[in-house]
Amino acid sequence: MEAGSSRYGSPEAAESQQLRGTNQSGMRDHNERLVLSLVRQSGALAKSDIARMTGLSAQTVSVIMRELEVEGLLLRQEPVRGKIGQPSIPMALNPEGAFFIGLKIGRRSAELVLIDFLGNSRAMLQNSYGYPTPRDTIDFVKSGIAEMRASLTREQDKRIAGLGVAMPFELWNWVDTAGAPREIMDEWRNRDIRADLQALFSFPVYVQNDATSACGAELVFGDIGTLRDFVYFYIGAFAGGGVVLNGRLYSGPTGNAGALGSMPVPGPGGRPTQLIDVASIAVLEKSLNAKGIEASYLWTSPEEWSDLGPELDSWIATASDALAYAIVASASVIDFESAVIDGWMPPAIRARMVQAVQSAIGKIDVEGLRIPSVREGTVGIHARAMGGASLPLSERFLIGSTAPSRGV
Amino acid sequence: MEAGSSRYGSPEAAESQQLRGTNQSGMRDHNERLVLSLVRQSGALAKSDIARMTGLSAQTVSVIMRELEVEGLLLRQEPVRGKIGQPSIPMALNPEGAFFIGLKIGRRSAELVLIDFLGNSRAMLQNSYGYPTPRDTIDFVKSGIAEMRASLTREQDKRIAGLGVAMPFELWNWVDTAGAPREIMDEWRNRDIRADLQALFSFPVYVQNDATSACGAELVFGDIGTLRDFVYFYIGAFAGGGVVLNGRLYSGPTGNAGALGSMPVPGPGGRPTQLIDVASIAVLEKSLNAKGIEASYLWTSPEEWSDLGPELDSWIATASDALAYAIVASASVIDFESAVIDGWMPPAIRARMVQAVQSAIGKIDVEGLRIPSVREGTVGIHARAMGGASLPLSERFLIGSTAPSRGV
DNA sequence: CAATAATTAAATCACTCTTATTTATTATTG
DNA sequence: CAATAATAAATAAGAGTGATTTAATTATTG
């Protein structure tokens, strides 16, 4: 069985690759998603605002938004007075409009998160382990989701729109690094985890690369302003990335776009190495362990690391040099506006890394390029699970990138 | 005046960035483009084929294709018999359906090409120079296009759909390399060449990066089979690239996507350098000149280079190492299916380079990546001018990437 | 009260879909 | 080999959907 392309995907992944025609329901669907996307971006918008922004007629927008209000996806806000003319009525997303579940499968732990339509976390569960097994993971999901659903009203439960799973690319190749038995890893390789989970639930189940998911969380829930094209790095036990093009998460033909951990970079002494070998928490842990420093709190308390001394400083330095290099290389493939860095680390450390990366970029020859600005991620440590949850949200309620032309 | 984003673009570039709604004419436009794209890809297709491929109803396809036939864009072929049922009538693109003009502005010469709807070259003009000036370029375009149009019937002339200009990113930064006076280069910087050309013609004028254009030519006219995602390298006086995502040329938010010449790569001795500094014809020329070998025929006869000896061999070796590295780095940003290499060189040399690149990739650590296959470009030396011409074709007749959902 | 802007009802228009029909061809039967 | 059945392509007619246009209503400012 071919791995990869069949690993990631959605219920309809198979047919979506084909070029399809558009009909009226496709047109309406597109316009509805457009309205929801704009309202999400702006907080709240009046129908007349939407009409201006989309070029649709006021009447069309009126019909669409009334329907979205009836469906419980939009909430009427207080009329805005003070301007000439009839006061406008901003429409905001209804937090209770839909719910989404995200699952992150990591090297040391799994996370389940339940979020509402605005991306607020409503419940979160964790499960730690030495290494993940399919059986335990499915048990965790089964009981965890049951517990979460018990906290919802019947009305809310009906509005669960899907489960998104964020997991690493070819997790079964961890044999060496994770200290897991080969037969467990082979189980991961040979099992279709998406299908197994789909069998448990009536809502759709999606699977996506974990770092790509984190990137999706930044896109949908993060504070990115008008940013529409960026490259994203998530520094966890390993390092990975994601790519946003034209306001849309781009996961690539095989779902492995943004495999930035595998980017070749000049290592210590100029010898080429992979980004993941210098810019990951696992490397930091190893260097601490080598000095006899116990560092398991790196995994357990990402909100606050204790004083780490010079090992941390030199890790930040080498990791940032490599990240700077990877950003420049990425910018020569796609002219990203920004590079966003987040990870399983305290915000203060993240801020130091961003600063270090910015100054490291200054030392690289960037002629012929527009260098993306470097910023911190705004979602933080739970970005992967949140990103999993963002997947059904995007699939169901958000718009694709290239706007179909409106015609004249 | 801000350079870059305002440099490249189309007549409607300003508004197209906005998220627009879709209406019926947009839907029809989309479906028409879809039909034309599929017919272009397949050579000729019956209405029933299109209906199956698009998911549109047979009747809808019938109406659309009849109209395209009346407009002279499609040609009815001989009915296909031998299968059960009524014989199908394949519809092919009408070569006379539309005409396009491409202009390449290069370091040593400009090229004008007139192509038909199938991409066949109908006329080609060249203008050599030490360095390009805006005034001479516009004169060349004016007289060249007048000459080309004189060869067309009145009917054909009416079907010219646009002019596409392929020129380097920030051409005015050639001050050092091209030996051109600063004031000429500043003229390039401060002038809006697109507007100047647009003033001369009633059809739309587009401008795009030259290597991106070459990539577009490969996409639209090349023999790429079902390839839908690839990274493209064009090795000319300088080196540049392009990116195709989901079957569509991706030029990026500032039009500088695929600036692969600026990709940092390990140079001779492991010191980081830019791809352009090892993999460009200018570098080859310099190394030949250093040995006292006159090499101006590199520019004048790209179809056949004479015996070049060891300098060529070592150039191919270093260039290929760097290309291999750039391909791996690109693959960690986007999981391209293929890397396509073309350039201003004889096909035999191109073939040697591709082979060398393939074996060089084998020596790089590619864990966690799916390595794209490496292939030769199929358009060849005139890819940039052809790509310019492909720009109005794409804008007017081809489909965007993400298929708008068809709805249920 | 005049001007302005938001909103929406009603009528209209454009485009696709469904259904049914016509036409052309191959496959099968006696 | 002629007659019949099966299959597939193409299209006409009518229904349905959704956006647009037009015009009216409402709420506010100055």
Task: Sketch out chain A's domains with CATH numbers.
Answer: 23-93 (1.10.10.10), 97-214+386-396 (3.30.420.40), 223-378 (3.30.420.40)
Task: Specify the pLDDT at position B403.
Answer: 40
How many Å lie between the alpha carbon of B320 and the closest alpha carbon of chain A? 16
Task: Specify the pLDDT at position A174.
Answer: 66
Protein residues contacting strand C, judged by Cβ under 7 Å: A 21-24, 46-48, 58-59, 62, 65-66, 83-89; B 24-25, 27-28, 31, 55-60, 63-64, 79, 81-87, 406
B positions 271-290 inside 8 Å of A (CB): 271-276
pLDDT tens-digit map of B70-95:
889 999 888 888 778 788 889 999 99
Residue type, B162: G
Task: Specify the pLDDT at position A175.
Answer: 53
* Number of alpha carbons in the 13 Å side-chain half-sphere of residue A269: 2
User: Above 60 in pLDDT, residue A33?
Assistant: yes
Task: Specify the pLDDT at position A398.
Answer: 92
Partner B contacted by A245 (CB < 8 A): yes
Task: Specify the pLDDT at position B406.
Answer: 45
Q: Which chain C positions have some atom within 7 A of a protein CB?
A: 3-11, 13-20, 23-27
User: Above 60 in pLDDT, residue A339?
Assistant: yes
pLDDT tens-digit map of B125-167:
999 998 899 999 999 999 999 999 999 999 999 999 999 999 9
Contact flag B26-A401 (C-beta cutoff 8 Å): no
pLDDT tens-digit map of A109-127:
999 999 999 999 999 999 9
User: Above 80 in pLDDT, residue B272?
Assistant: yes
Confidence of residue B178 (pLDDT cuts 50, 70, 90): low
Q: Which chain D positions have some atom within 7 A of a protein CB?
A: 6-14, 16-23, 26-30
User: Above 60 in pLDDT, residue A68?
Assistant: yes
Confidence of residue A403 (pLDDT cuts 50, 70, 90): very low
* Average pLDDT of span B1-18: 40
Task: Specify the pLDDT at position B306.
Answer: 76
Asked if residue B357 lies in contact with residue B374, where contact means CB atoms within 8 angstroms, the answer is yes
Q: Hey, how many other C-beta atoms are within 10 angstroms of the C-beta on A109?
A: 15
H/E stretch holding A126: strand A121-128
Q: How far is the CA of A37 from the C1' of C7 (A)?
A: 22
Task: Specify the pLDDT at position A404.
Answer: 41
Give the long-range contacts of residues B354-357, CB within 8 A, separation 24 or more.
B356/B316, B356/B317, B356/B320, B357/B320, B357/B323, B357/B324, B357/B327
Contact flag B54-A20 (C-beta cutoff 8 Å): yes
Report residue B287: phi and psi, to 5°.
-70, -30
- How many pairs of residues across A and B have Cβ atoms under 8 Å apart? 267
Contact list in A for residue B262 (CB cut-off 8 A) is 332, 366-369
Contact list in B for residue A9 (CB cut-off 8 A) is none
Contact flag B253-A246 (C-beta cutoff 8 Å): yes
Q: What share of chain A is helix, strand, coil (3-state, %, to 5)?
A: 45, 20, 35
> Nearest-CA neighbor of B241 among A332, A250, A365?
A332
For residue B358, what are the β-bridge partners?
A: none
Task: Specify the pLDDT at position A21.
Answer: 84
Beta strands in A7-63 (DSSP E): 44-45
| Least reliable range by pLDDT among A62-66, A382-386, A398-402, B225-229 | A398-402
DSSP label at residue A85 = S
Q: Higher pLDDT residue, A390 or B270?
A: A390
> 3-state SS of chain B?
CCCCCCCCECCCHHHHCCCCCCCHHHHHHHHHHHHHHHHHHHCEECHHHHHHHHCCCHHHHHHHHHHHHHCCCEEECCCECCCCCCCECCEEECHHHCEEEEEEECCCEEEEEEEECCCCEEEEEEEECCCCCHHHHHHHHHHHHHHHHHCCCHHHHHCEEEEEEEECCCHHHHHHHHCCCHHHHHHHHHCCHHHHHHCCCCCCEEEEEHHHHHHHHHHHHCCCCCCCCEEEEEECCCEEEEEEECCEECCCCCCCCCCHHHCEEECHHHCEEEHHHCCCHHHHHHHHHHCCCCCCHHHHCCCCCCCCCHHHHHHHHHHHHHHHHHHHHHHHHCCCCEEEEEECCCHHHHHHHHHHHHHHHCCCCCCCCCCCEEEECCCCCCHHHHHHHHHHHHHHHCCCCCCCCCCC
User: Which two tokens mark B37?
Assistant: 């794209």
For residue A376, what are the β-bridge partners?
A: A341
Task: Specify the pLDDT at position B86.
Answer: 82
Q: Is the CB of A189 under 7 A from strand D?
A: no
